[in-house]
Amino acid sequence: MPSMSPMQRALELARQAVGFSSPNPPVGAVLVRDGEMVGEGRTQPSGQAHAEIEALAMAGGRARGATIYVTLEPCNHQGRTGPCTEAIIAAGVVEVHASISDPSPNINGSGFDRLREAGIAVKVGESSDEAAELAEPHARYISTGLPLVTAKFAISLDGKIATRSGESRWISGVESRLYTHELRAASDAILAGIETVVVDDPQLSARDADGKALPRQPVRVIIDSRGRMPSDARVLSEPGTTLVAIATNDPRVHERLNELGVEALHLPGDDGRVDLAGLIKALGQREMTSVFIEGGGTVLGSMFDLGLIDKVVAFVAPMIIGGASAPGPVNGLGAERMADVLRLNRVKVLRFGDDVAVTGYARGGDSAAG
């Protein structure tokens, strides 16, 4: 058996499924019999086997009399695949250890109930915080139909995202940028405004430490109300899919975007700009469970003003930029009084080289742990 505990191994497997399993949650499962790991698995892409089924298949007959460790409550319904509870029962598993319950309306404890009815011992709660964080996009999506929306930005100690001339490469260090690519790879979509595309010309793709594009790419979503997408923008030559959200009715814009090989989403708001709430809803309807926003300040400001942000990842670099005209990360209307400011909860501080990353949540109660 590996030196790590069975549940820690299950969490490691779940991390390997992040991104690939969407819209299903990333889950890991490990089967242990007589102190030996006899099977393991992680959630496969949508429509394929769940983690428990993978682990049972590896174990074969050795699953009888075994204990299964799983990061999320086994499903108890017929979806694109059969119920995992029935497979566990049929295999002769005698005990189930699960980190958290599944908030899905058609599960929500019924999986545990079915296992107990079959005489299987059920224990819940081991490594629940880690498992809940892995499952948080699923929890948000399954309870609201909306993706988990994460805002990311990098700032200097004095709160700037660029110099007064607009130069911004690089505020964050190498380690922070590598972590950003991990966050991109874990997301179903990367979202940015057209100003970011025009000024910074980012790739908005998930890449490895050598700069090579990863096999799976999140969908790039560009908010471009008037359809100003440059024909030579780097996002257009990156692997994967690009969506452009527009507000204009001009047929020439639709035709031009089509010629550029991108899909136009017509989502006009009352102010002549893209309906941002409508955009997030539309992405949820496409079964996207996580959206990673990388700016710019106008998009982030509007998203915060509308209450559309669920989570924040803010990198802080040990530098002073200065200058009254140097931009900050969040524009929009903002709060008028301190009593109205958005205060994050469940805050963590991570270290990446000389940088720190402050992460936290704009809402409470959306975790899979309940």
For residues 156, 157, 163, 164, the Cα torsion angle rounded to the nearest 10 degrees is 140
Look at residue 317 and give its three-state secondary structure: strand
Residue 52 designated active-site: yes
Look at residue 312 and give its three-state secondary structure: strand
Tokens in use for 143? Answer: 């309870």
Measure the CA–CA gap between 164 and 22, rounded to whole angstroms.
Answer: 40
Classify the C-alpha dihedral 277-280-284-290 as positive or negative: negative
> Roughly what angle, to the nearest 10 degrees, separates helices 84-91 and 51-59?
20
Q: Is the distance from CB of 108 to CB of 102 less than 8 angstroms?
A: yes
CA distances (Å), origin 352, targets 88, 173, 202, 303, 317? 41, 8, 22, 27, 10
Tokens in use for 134? Answer: 């892995």
Tokens in use for 357? Answer: 């990353």
**207 bridge partner residues:** 213
Residue 240 neighbours by CB under 8 Å, 6+ apart: 205, 217, 218, 219, 220
Cis, peptide link before residue 23, omega less than 30° from 0: yes
CA distances (Å), origin 84, targets 41, 50, 64, 166? 13, 8, 15, 53
Measure the CA–CA gap between 138 and 135, rounded to whole angstroms.
Answer: 5
Among residues 12, 36, 40, 52, the one annotated as catalytic is 52
Measure the CA–CA gap between 101 and 116, rounded to whole angstroms.
Answer: 14
Please name the amino acid found at residue 96: V
CA distances (Å), origin 7, targets 73, 112, 146, 192, 344? 13, 17, 29, 37, 29
- By annotation, the residues acting in catalysis are 52
